[in-house]
C-alpha cells in the first residue's frame, strides 16, 4: 500500500476538529491520504483548553459534564464517532492518539507517603520518606460509574509532582510509596537515571488492577469507535514489559491486524532500535533522527551534506516499521521540543519522504492548510507565529500516487545536489527526483538505449524546459537553486 498519514491537528488548533474533519474527509482522500491521525479524544483536566494530553477520564469522549463542559476541545462524542465513520466511508483508516502514562485533574486528596528525588537523577533520594496529601484519587463523579466503576487512587500511581505537607505545597518529583515498591519501574528509558516519571500522577504499570483496567478500556474504546490503529504517546516513560503485553493483547483478543505507531523521542537511532528490540519490534516508530536531519539541513543550508540525509535514521535501518515526518505538534514553534524545519527546506523534506521507496510518510496539518497562532516565548513575551502551507505539497502528493513506484536508484554523489530514480512499473514510467540546497544543479542519468528519445517535463512546474534522452537513453536533469524538481515522462 502506498499509504500516507495526515496528522489532522496541531497544538494551537482552535477546536471543533471533528466537524472540520468530517467536512474535509473526501478532499483528503482525493489528495491521496490513506489514514488520519487524530489527537486524543478523551476529557482533559483542562476541559476545553486541554489538547488531549492532560488526561483526566479515558471513558469520557465528550459525553459527560466534567472539567467544566461536556464536549472536549475538539467536539462531542457524537461528533467524534461521526468523524471516524466519515473517514471509513471515504476510504481512510483512523489512528487514535492515546496517552497511558499519566493522569491529571484528580477529584480528591489522599494521605500518602512519598520520598523526594533529584530531578536530574531520579534514582537519587533527596529526602527521607514523609507523609503528606496529594490529589491522587479520580472518581469521575460526572460519569458516575458508566462504562467502568474503576477508581484510581495512589496505589495506581508511582509518582507525583505536588504534595501538601504541614499546609504547605511542595513542588518537585516525589516517588510514591505504594504496594509495588519504593523504586521506579526500571523497564523505561534511563534518561535522568530513570525516566518513569513525566508529569502529573504517573501511572504504576506494575499494578495488575491498573493493567486490567487499561485492557478493559482499550477493548471498549476500539469496539465503540471502530478505529484502525493507535499512536502511542510518551513511550520513553512507559514500561516496555507492559507495552509488549498490551500490544499482544490487542492483536490477539481484539484485532489481529491493528496498527501501532509509537512516539519514542530520541534523536539517536541506536536508542530507538534498542527500544524496538525490547518490545519485539511489535510497532512502528516515528523517525525522530530523520526529522532532526531535516532540521539541521534547513539550518545549515549549503553547509549540510545532502548525501548524509538518511544517515543514522530508522528509515535507513528499518523502513518497514518506520513513519517519517517533517514536523509535528511537539516540534512547532514555542513548544518544548521546538525544532521547526525552515520554510525553504520543507518542500524538499516532503519530496524526500513522499517520493522515496518503502516510506510511510506523515503530513502535518499546518503544512497542508497553514496555521497562525499566538503564545508566550521563554521570556514571557507574546509572539505571533505564522506557519505557511507548503505550496507544492498537493503536487508532491499527486506525484506519489502517479509516479513514485518501482525500484529506487540513488544518485547521492554530491553534497549539495542529490537525486533518485523511481523506475516505475508496467506502463508507469516512474520519475526522477532531484534536489539542491545550494546553486542550480544537475544529474546525468542513463535509462538504456530502449528509452532513447523519451521526453521528460518537471511535474512540479518549477522548471519549464523539456529534457529529451539521447540515442543512448541518457539525459541531464536539472534543479533550481534551493529547490526540488520531479521529472516525469511527457
Q: What is the C-alpha to C-alpha distance for residues 296 and 299, in angstroms, rounded to an integer? A: 5
Contact criterion met (CB below 8 Å) for 130 and 114: yes
Q: Which residues on adjacent β-strands are paired with residue 55?
A: 44
Q: What is the C-alpha to C-alpha distance for residues 351 and 110, in angstroms, rounded to an integer? A: 54
Q: What is the C-alpha to C-alpha distance for residues 490 and 80, in angstroms, rounded to an integer? A: 44
Q: Do the annotations mark residue 101 as ligand-binding?
A: yes
To the nearest 10 degrees (0 to 180), the angle between helices 288-300 and 269-278 is 170
The runs of H, that is alpha helices, within 92-239 are 208-225
DSSP three-state, residue 90 = coil
Q: What is the C-alpha to C-alpha distance for residues 57 and 394, in angstroms, rounded to an integer? A: 38
Residue 319 CB burial class (10 angstroms; 0-12, 13-18, ≥19): middle
**Catalytic residue status for 233:** yes
The runs of H, that is alpha helices, within 106-207 are none
Residue in 263, 305, 375, 480 annotated catalytic? 263
**Catalytic residue status for 439:** no
Q: What is the DSSP letter of 93?
A: E
Q: What is the C-alpha to C-alpha distance for residues 474 and 450, in angstroms, rounded to an integer? A: 10
DSSP three-state, residue 242 = helix
The runs of H, that is alpha helices, within 358-459 are 365-369, 393-402
Q: Do the annotations mark residue 414 as ligand-binding?
A: no
Q: Do the annotations mark residue 237 as ligand-binding?
A: yes
Residues 6+ apart with CB under 8 A from 253: 219
Q: What is the C-alpha to C-alpha distance for residues 302 and 292, in angstroms, rounded to an integer? A: 16
Q: Do the annotations mark residue 102 as ligand-binding?
A: no
Q: How many CA atoms lie within 13 A of 261 on its CB side?
A: 27
Q: Which residues on adjacent β-strands are paired with residue 168?
A: 165
Residue in 233, 318, 367, 458 annotated catalytic? 233
Q: How many CB atoms lie within 10 A of CB 65?
A: 13
DSSP three-state, residue 30 = helix
DSSP three-state, residue 443 = strand
Between CA 293 and CA 305, with CA 299 as vertex, the angle to 5 degrees is: 55
End-to-end CA distance of the chain: 26
Q: What is the DSSP letter of 300?
A: H
Binding residues: 101, 196, 202, 237
Binding residues for Ca(2+): 101, 196, 202, 237
Catalytically active residues, by annotation: 233, 263
Amino acid at each position: 500500500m502506498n499509504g500516507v498519514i495526515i496528522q489532522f491537528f496541531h497544538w494551537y488548533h482552535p477546536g471543533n476538529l471533528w466537524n472540520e474533519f468530517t467536512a474535509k474527509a473526501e478532499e483528503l482522500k482525493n489528495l491521496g491520504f490513506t489514514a488520519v491521525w487524530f489527537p486524543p479524544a478523551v476529557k482533559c483536566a483542562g476541559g476545553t483548553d486541554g489538547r488531549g494530553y492532560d488526561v483526566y477520564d479515558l471513558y469520557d469522549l465528550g459525553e459527560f459534564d466534567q472539567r467544566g463542559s461536556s464536549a472536549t476541545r475538539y467536539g462531542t462524542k457524537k461528533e467524534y464517532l461521526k468523524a471516524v465513520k466519515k473517514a471509513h466511508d471515504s476510504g481512510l483508516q483512523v489512528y487514535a492518539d492515546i496517552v497511558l502514562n499519566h493522569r491529571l485533574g484528580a477529584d480528591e486528596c489522599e494521605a500518602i507517603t512519598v520520598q523526594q528525588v533529584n530531578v536530574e537523577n531520579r534514582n537519587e533520594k533527596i529526602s527521607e520518606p514523609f507523609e503528606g496529601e496529594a490529589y491522587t484519587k479520580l472518581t469521575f463523579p460526572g460519569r458516575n460509574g458508566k462504562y467502568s466503576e474503576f477508581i484510581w487512587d495512589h496505589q495506581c500511581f508511582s509518582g507525583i509532582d505536588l504534595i501538601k505537607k504541614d499546609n504547605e505545597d511542595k513542588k518537585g518529583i516525589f516517588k510514591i510509596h505504594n504496594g509495588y515498591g519504593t523504586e521506579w519501574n526500571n523497564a523505561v528509558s534511563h534518561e535522568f537515571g530513570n525516566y518513569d516519571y513525566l508529569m502529573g500522577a504517573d501511572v504504576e504499570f506494575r499494578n495488575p488492577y491498573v493493567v486490567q483496567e487499561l485492557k478493559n478500556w482499550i477493548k471498549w474504546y476500539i469496539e465503540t469507535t471502530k478505529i484502525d490503529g493507535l499512536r502511542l504517546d510518551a513511550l520513553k516513560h512507559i514500561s516496555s514489559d507492559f507495552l509488549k503485553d498490551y500490544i499482544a493483547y490487542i492483536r490477539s483478543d481484539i484485532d489481529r491486524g491493528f496498527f501501532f505507531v509509537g512516539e519514542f523521542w530520541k534523536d539517536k537511532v541506536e536508542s530507538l532500535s534498542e527500544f524496538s528490540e525490547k518490545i519485539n519490534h511489535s510497532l512502528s516508530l516515528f523517525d525522530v533522527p530523520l526529522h532532526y536531519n531535516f532540521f539541521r539541513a534547513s539550518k545549515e543550508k549549503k553547509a549540510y551534506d545532502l548525501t548524509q540525509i538518511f544517515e543514522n535514521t530508522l528509515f535507513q535501518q528499518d523502513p518497514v516499521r518506520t513513519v517519517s515526518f517533517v514536523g509535528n505538534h511537539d516540534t512547532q514553534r514555542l513548544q518544548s521540543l521546538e525544532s521547526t524545519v525552515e520554510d525553504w527546506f520543507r518542500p524538499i523534506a516532503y519530496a524526500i519522504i513522499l517520493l522515496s521507496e518503502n516510506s510511510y510518510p506523515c503530513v502535518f496539518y499546518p503544512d497542508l492548510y497553514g496555521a497562525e497562532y499566538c503564545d508566550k516565548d521563554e521570556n514571557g513575551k507574546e509572539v505571533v507565529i505564522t506557519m505557511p502551507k507548503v505550496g507544492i505539497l498537493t503536487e508532491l502528493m499527486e506525484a506519489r500516487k502517479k509516479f513514485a513506484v518501482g525500484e529506487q536508484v540513488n544518485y547521492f554523489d554530491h553534497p549539495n545536489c542529490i537525486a533518485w530514480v523511481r523506475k516505475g512499473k508496467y506502463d508507469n514510467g516512474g520519475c526522477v527526483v532531484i534536489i539542491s540546497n545550494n546553486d542550480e544543479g544537475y544529474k546525468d542519468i542513463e535509462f538504456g538505449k530502449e528509452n532513447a528519445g523519451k521526453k521528460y517535463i518537471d511535474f512540479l512546474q518549477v522548471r519549464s524546459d523539456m529534457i529529451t534522452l539521447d540515442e543512448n537513453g541518457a539525459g541531464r536533469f536539472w534543479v533550481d537553486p534551493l529547490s526540488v524538481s520531479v521529472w516525469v515522462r511527457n
